Structure 1
Amino acid sequence: MVLFGPRILTWNATVQPLPAASSPAGNSPAAAPQPAAPSVPGSAQSSPSASGTAGPALPRSAPTRLMIPKIGVDAPFTDLEIGPSGALDPPPADDTNLVGWHAAGASPGERGTALIAGHLDTATAPAVFARLSELVAGDSFEIARADGTMAVFVVDSVESFEKNDFPEKRVYGDTSAALVRLITCAGAYDRTVRDYTENLVVFAHLDVTG
């Protein structure tokens, strides 16, 4: 499975790993999307946010749980790394209720763009991000962090991109704001490459901390 590729965000069944979808339930083995690795943002960013203001932010702390009540998500986190292929490895395919974050990048709530990936489905069942496409601008979700704080994020937009035309800079670009990207697979399932044709990205910003 591949989630983030060297230059584009894609998930392929055999190459670069990152989070997200697997093959449709009951069909081929799980396949995950793959987000671009080389330009994965770090924890300290400098360019202004889209609104022109940096907004609130938290100190660095690992995320422990993602909660999106609207779509029934309540899932623990696992760390994801850039694999030998140059793509971000996906979460384990045998756990349908698990999300991963790029542990070498910004943590959720910290200034920068935090990347969170989850599978769309597995060979046998829907997975944690099966309903991610149901989110709309204005929806909110929470991320519990290891330091005991709770970060609340508000969705700015939900968009799908062809894997061969992924807007890398827009998704991973530097920012002084505390942003999160939730990423999974989308589109049709291509059996020839055992992967989905698109990636779904939820763009969100930090709203409240506690």
Structure 2
Amino acid sequence: MFIFQIQNHISNNIYLAGIRCSLDKLASHNPHWRYQMASAQVCPESEVHLMTFDVTHCNTTEEFLSCDVPNTPHALVLIKAAQKELLSSLVTHFNCSILCVDEVNFQMRELIETVVKNNRYLSAIATRHKTIVFPVEQAMLTRTECTILGYLGQGRSGVDISKALFRSEKTISTHKRSIMRKLKVTNDLELRKYIQGYESKRGLYN
């Protein structure tokens, strides 16, 4: 019998009950599969398949970092869809798995099968925050320009991008002008058409 070990860091009883309910349902349909959930003191990190964290109280990346969440697919963070800036930052710049507590059709089996294979799990709402990834060699763009171009492809404003990347609006504007010059586009409409054309040809969402 396979025992799925979970190290729990969630104190919110509602979220914890929801996780347990999904696990119990999965176990009831799979007689050769069981799970064990314990605290960090009882279940050391070296022996776990999944670590669960509640970051629904965090508003910034700094607050998230203070939670000491390991940057690994085996660390699952629970977050609200309303935490848009933090959610976008976690999806783009971190490697932890993400489950939005607002999900309607969540499948625990999919989560477990994903992390057991050492792959990152993103629930449906989190997936919609994935940034288009442009290769660095595309028109000789820098890595920062690729990241900004991805945000622009999402329709994000300069203000949003500056907050997400912790850069000034002036810096973002400078990078945007550099991107447009390298891509040989002269206005926002041409830039959007370029992004849409690149999406259709290459399929850029991971």
Shorter-chain TM-score category? under 0.3
* Structure with greater proportional helix content: 2
Which has a greater percent of strand?
1
When Rg is computed on C-alpha atoms for both structures, the one with the higher figure is 2
State TM-score, norm by structure 2. Answer: 0.23
Taking structure 1 as the reference length, the TM-score comes to 0.22
RCO comparison, higher one (Cα < 8 Å, 6+): 1
